[in-house]
Structure 1
Amino acid sequence: MGVQSSHRINIAIDGPAGAGKSTVARLVANALQYIYVDTGAMYRAVTAIALERGLSSEQEAEIGLLARELAIELLPGDDGQRVLAGGSDITAKLRTHEVNRNVSAVSAIEAVRRRMADLQRRMADSKGVVMDGRDIGTHVLPDAELKVFLTASPRERALRRFKELGDNPGITLDQLEIDIAERDRKDQEREFAPLLQAPDARYLDSTGLSVQEVADRISEWGRAATRTISAGEK
């Protein structure tokens, strides 16, 4: 059931790698009949195309130019969101180990983050958006009516990613946990728009909780925020 109000809000869900943000955000958007914006997929798209063109993460100027010129579209699909870059569907390329290893460095490039943030703000102009990432509540949508910082233990997050990779992960669970810890460090220490919990964000540790339990909790927070806004405007 959607929100029973003409009012719509924006919901920002931030958190570290493997916290389940994308899956949860999609469920929340479905529950509230909102639009889901997977910002991580946008950064992965830039990373995948950069790797495809033989660019290394050290080539910041070239990747920044690529990000400014690359047309990225997020479209609904039968199995979730489809990601198009330059008109081509690159969804299947976004979760490879090579992209996982490079996306943090590419995401740290200021020109890339500025371009993606501009696109994301345009998507949220009309309200009714659930957006997940690492700097949504602090940088992209600082005026979002509901902000959530979603996390889980490093081991739990590594296990989730390990399962995502399927039968031939090409990496051990222990190494994946090390990689996630390093991703956390890079995301938190980057100079421009680092991973931070917004002061007014609600903290939610999903360790031991099912995806549906987390989504239900955030959906109810969204409904409550909408009711509060509606009541204040009467």
Structure 2
Amino acid sequence: MIIAIDGPAASGKGTLAKRIAEHWGLPCLDTGLLYRAVARDVVLLGFRIDDPWAALIAARSLHPAELLDPDLRTPQAGDAASIVARIPQVRTALLVYQRAFATQPGGAVLDGRDIGTVVCPDADAKIYVTARTEVRAKRRFLECQGRGEGVTIEGILADIRRRDERDASRGSAPMRPADDADLLDTSDLDIEAAFDAAVGLIKRKIGQ
């Protein structure tokens, strides 16, 4: 069983994907970490983040263990990821990795921005998770505060709006709901309510 969870930054899709994976006993991949790791490695190579050649080299040499780097969870890493994600060669290189993960025996849960549209268009269930921009900004602000990062709600809101625009307007695999995806707005839901709603949507899709 392959479950695709898509949506914009701070919509709650990552937390939902992990809970859903645990519920069905499936492996889970946060595909955004792949792009964050590529951006990090491009910088380590001494190149600009938007350098296509360096980004492609980084994508082709990516190792799963490198995704455990806690620095990949910062807002700066997320913003950098949306820059390398606009490079078609990078998306092509990482597509192989993602599809291999999705088609392992038993299936998997993947979350990202183009899982249901490009990576796994034939997924058994697809959910597009969203929330109002201001709600997402507040969630991300509280996360950063919890890690002791000096951020402002205004700065976070501007970053999220910039990322949304960048992700939705890129020429290669833009962020959008798949035509057959179920929409889940988590603006007014806590994690338990969102999880229950997501499980209900998936069960209806797979006939449970």
Q: TM-score range by the shorter chain?
A: over 0.9
TM-score by length of 2: 0.92
Output the CA distance in 2 between the equivalents of 1:96 and 1:52.
Answer: 17
Task: Output the amino acid matched with 2:125.
Answer: L
Give the equivalent residue in structure 1 for 2:133: 154
1:14 aligns to 2:39 (yes or no) = no
Give the equivalent residue in structure 2 for 1:92: 70
Residue 96 of structure 1 and its aligned partner are, at CA, apart by 2.5
1:184 aligns to 2:164 (yes or no) = yes
| 8 A contact 2:2–2:109 mirrored in 1 | yes
Total equivalences in the alignment: 206
Moved over 6 A (4+): none
Q: Which runs of 5+ in 2 are unaligned?
A: none
| 8 A contact 1:28–1:216 mirrored in 2 | no
Q: Which has the larger radius of gyration?
A: 1
Q: Which runs of 5+ in 1 are unaligned?
A: 1-8, 74-83, 229-234
Output the CA distance in 1 between the equivalents of 2:86 and 2:150.
Answer: 26
Residue 220 of structure 1 and its aligned partner are, at CA, apart by 2.5
Moved more, 46-55 or 107-116: 46-55
Output the CA distance in 1 between the equivalents of 2:173 and 2:195.
Answer: 26
The structure in which a higher percent of residues are strand is 1
- The structure 1 residue matched to 2:154, chosen from 167, 170, 174, is 174
- The structure 2 residue matched to 1:144, chosen from 96, 115, 123, is 123
Residue 128 of structure 1 and its aligned partner are, at CA, apart by 2.7
Residue 166 of structure 1 and its aligned partner are, at CA, apart by 2.7
Output the CA distance in 2 between the equivalents of 1:95 and 1:55.
Answer: 21
Q: Give the percent of matched residue pairs that are identical in Structure 1 and Structure 2.
A: 35
TM-score by length of 1: 0.83
Moved more, 149-158 or 167-176: 167-176
Output the CA distance in 1 between the equivalents of 2:184 and 2:205.
Answer: 17
1:30 aligns to 2:22 (yes or no) = yes
Give the equivalent residue in structure 2 for 1:164: 143
Give the equivalent residue in structure 1 for 2:53: 61
RMSD: 1.6
Residue 90 of structure 1 and its aligned partner are, at CA, apart by 4.5
